[in-house]
Structure 1
Amino acid sequence: MTSENSETPPSSASPLDSINQRLAAAYPTLSPQLKQAAGYVMEHPLNIAFQSIRKTAEAAHVTPSTLVRLAKRLDFKSYETFREVFQSAVQTPPVELSGRASRLRHQASQPDDPLFVDVGDAAFDNIGRLFTADNQARVRDAAQQLLAARNIAVVGFRDTFACAYHFAYVGRIAMPNINLIRGLEGGLLTELDRFDENDTVVVFGFEPYCAETVKALEVTRANGVKAIVVTDTMRSPLAPGAQISFNLANATPHFFPSILSAITLIEAILAECVAFGPDAMVENVTRFEQRMRHIGAYVEID
C-alpha cells in the first residue's frame, strides 16, 4: 500500500484513464479471478459507477472480495474510493440514475405497461455499452482530429439528421468551422465539393442506411477528407476507410433504431474538444450566450 496520494492519478491523464492504463499494465500478472474482474471494470465503467458491489460482482462472475482486492491492488483504500472515480468520470449523480432504474424495475411488476419498461431497459443498455475504455480513447482521438481540421462537415440524413443537426448546432457555438450538410434541392455534391484533405467529415448512419449518406461519404473520401463515422456495426457501408469509427448499440422496442447513444457520444466528443481546445473556444461560447440573451432569445425566470 502507498500513501493517499497514490489514489490521485497524474494530471496528464484523467483518473479513469489512469485506472485503465494501470489495469492494462498489471493485467498479465493478475490471477485468473482478478483478470476476470479487471476485464469487466475496463469494459463496463457505467456499471462500476452505479451498481452495488454485489451486483457488479455477479455481473463479472467474481466475488465481491475479488473486486475489493482489485481496488487495493491499484492502491485504493477501499472499493468505495475506487468506485468514486467512475462516478465522477461519467458525471451523473448515481442516486438519480439508480433511482430511475429502480422505478423502471418497479414498473415491470405492474401488469399494465411492460413496453415502457422494455424501452427503458434498452436505453440503459445502449448507454452502458458506449462507456468503454476503447470508446474513451476514440473520443479523445476524435476530438484531436476535429481540433486539427480546417473545416468540419457534418452529415446525417433521414433518421440521423437529428444527430447531425445537434452536433452542428451545439458544436458551432464553440467551433465556427463546423458546417451542417443539408443536401437540399440536389445541392449535396456542391456543398461537399469544397472540402479536402485539410478537413474532416463527421458522418452518422444506422441501418437502414441512407443512400444520400453513403453518397456523401464517397464524395468526401474521393477528395481526401478524413472521416469520423458514427454507425452501428463494422458491416456498415459507412465504416470502410474511416479514420475513426464508433459502433454504437441502438437496440430498442421502438420501430426505428435509437439515437440515444449517438446523442450522448456527441456530448462527450464536443466536451472533449472544448476541454483540450484553445481558449478562443470558451470565448466563443461566452459571446454566443451574451448575444442570445441580448436579443431576447432566452426567457428569463425569476
Structure 2
Amino acid sequence: MEVAELVPTDLDTLKDHIVRRYDDLSPRLQQVADFAMAQPMLVAVETMVTIAEQANVPLSTLSRFSNAMGFSGFSSMQAVFRDHYFNRPRDYKERVRKARNEAEFGPDSAAAIFHDFGAANIEAMEQLQITVSPQKLDRAVSLLEGAETIYIQGMRRAYPVAFYLWYALMKSNNNVVLIDDNGGMLSPLTRLMGERDVLVTFTFSPYAPETTDVIDLAYQKKVPIIAITDNQMMEQGNKMDVCFEVQEGDNLGFRSLSCSVYLAQTLAVSLMCQDSV
C-alpha cells in the first residue's frame, strides 16, 4: 500500500516537493510552480488575485496547484510562505547603513566595497539559516555517513568550495575522492562510482558541462546525489536526493561563496561528529 506523503510544513520542504512533482504537472500548474519558485516573497505577501495576475493564470489554477502539493487550499499553502518570511531577520540593513553613514568614505572606496560585500553576505547567510530545514541537513549527513566513498565535484567558480570540503573530510575516517579534470582524470575517477557511494556536487549558473556529465553518470549508476546550487529548478534538479538552494551575496557583479562554504563546513563537521560517536 502506498504511503501518503506528508504535507510540507516549511518552505524548503515545499520547494523539494515542487521539484519532485514538476514533471508530472500540467503546463498551467508548471507555470504556477515556476512563479512560486522564482517569486516566493510575492506569494507570501500578495493576494490570491494579484498572484494569479502576475503568474498569468486563472484563480482556479492556484487552487489546483495547492491541491496538487497536498494542501486543502491556497491559503494553507501560502501560510508556509508567510511563516518563512515573517521570521526573517530584518535589522541587518539598518546596521550596515548606519555604519556607512557614520564613516567618511566614497562610494567606490575599498571601505565602501568592504561594507557592501559584508552586507550582501550577511543577508545571504541569514536567509540561508531560515531556508534550510533541519530534516534536509540530517538527510544529507545520513547519506554521507552511510557512503563507502564520498565523491566531491565542482568546476570553475564552484571548485574552491569542492576543494574545501574534500580537504575538510580528509581529516575524517571516510574515503573521499575529489573529482576534477586535471590530467584528463575525470573519467577514471568517476568510473568506480557505485550506488553504495555518494556524490556531493557544487554547481552554479552557468552550469559547467563537466558537472552536468558527472551528475548524469551518477544518476545512471544510482549514486545518491547531494547538490549545492543556486537554482533548485535547474534542468537536473529532479535527479538530486538532497538539493540545497543557496542565493549568494552579490556586489558589483561578483557573487560570493560564503553560503556554499557555510554549508560545506556544516556537512563536514556534522559528519565528523557522527564518526566520533
User: Do these two structures clear the TM 0.5 threshold for a shared fold by scoring above it?
Assistant: yes
Identical residues among aligned pairs (%): 18
CA contact (8 A) 2:173 2:275 kept: no
Give the drift of 1:204.
0.1
Distance 1:40 1:237 in 2: 26
Distance 2:83 2:220 in 1: 40
Distance 1:235 1:196, change over 3 A: same
| Alignment size in residue pairs | 197
Instruction: Name the residue aligned to 2:144.
Output: 146
Instruction: Name the residue aligned to 1:106.
Output: 99
Unaligned runs of 5+ in 1: 1-34, 56-97, 281-302
Instruction: Name the residue aligned to 2:113.
Output: 115
Match for 1:241 among 239, 242, 245? Answer: 239
CA contact (8 A) 1:154 1:168 kept: yes
Distance 1:40 1:224 in 2: 33
Confirm whether residue 137 of structure 1 aligns to residue 135 of structure 2.
Answer: yes
CA contact (8 A) 2:149 2:177 kept: yes
Name the amino acid aligned to 2:204: F
Give me the TM-score of the superposition, normalised by structure 2.
0.62
Give the drift of 1:242.
0.3
Instruction: Name the residue aligned to 2:275.
Output: 278
Distance 1:269 1:41 in 2: 25
Name the amino acid aligned to 2:99: H
Q: Name the SS for the 1:234 alignment partner.
A: coil
Match for 1:207 among 189, 205, 208? Answer: 205
CA contact (8 A) 1:189 1:216 kept: no
Distance 1:264 1:101, change over 3 A: farther
State the superposition RMSD in angstroms: 3.1
Name the amino acid aligned to 1:158: R
CA contact (8 A) 2:172 2:275 kept: no
Instruction: Name the residue aligned to 1:197.
Output: 195
Q: Name the SS for the 1:131 alignment partner.
A: helix
Instruction: Name the residue aligned to 2:168.
Output: 170
Match for 1:39 among 83, 87, 90? Answer: 83
Distance 1:206 1:270 in 2: 20
Distance 1:112 1:165, change over 3 A: same
Distance 1:154 1:101 in 2: 39
Distance 2:199 2:235 in 1: 16
Name the amino acid aligned to 2:263: L
CA contact (8 A) 1:195 1:220 kept: yes
Distance 1:120 1:101 in 2: 13
CA contact (8 A) 2:84 2:130 kept: no
Q: Name the SS for the 2:255 alignment partner.
A: coil
Give the drift of 1:103.
6.2
Confirm whether residue 127 of structure 1 aligns to residue 125 of structure 2.
Answer: yes
Distance 1:133 1:115, change over 3 A: closer
Give the drift of 1:130.
1.1
More divergent stretch after superposition (218-227 vs 100-109): 100-109
Q: How does 1:11-50 map to 2 (within 5 A)?
A: 39=83, 43-44=87-88, 47=89
Unaligned runs of 5+ in 2: 1-78
Specify which structure has the bigger relative contact order, considering alpha-carbon pairs within 8 angstroms and separated by 6 or more residues: 2
Distance 1:272 1:104, change over 3 A: farther
Distance 1:261 1:199 in 2: 25
Give the drift of 1:216.
1.3
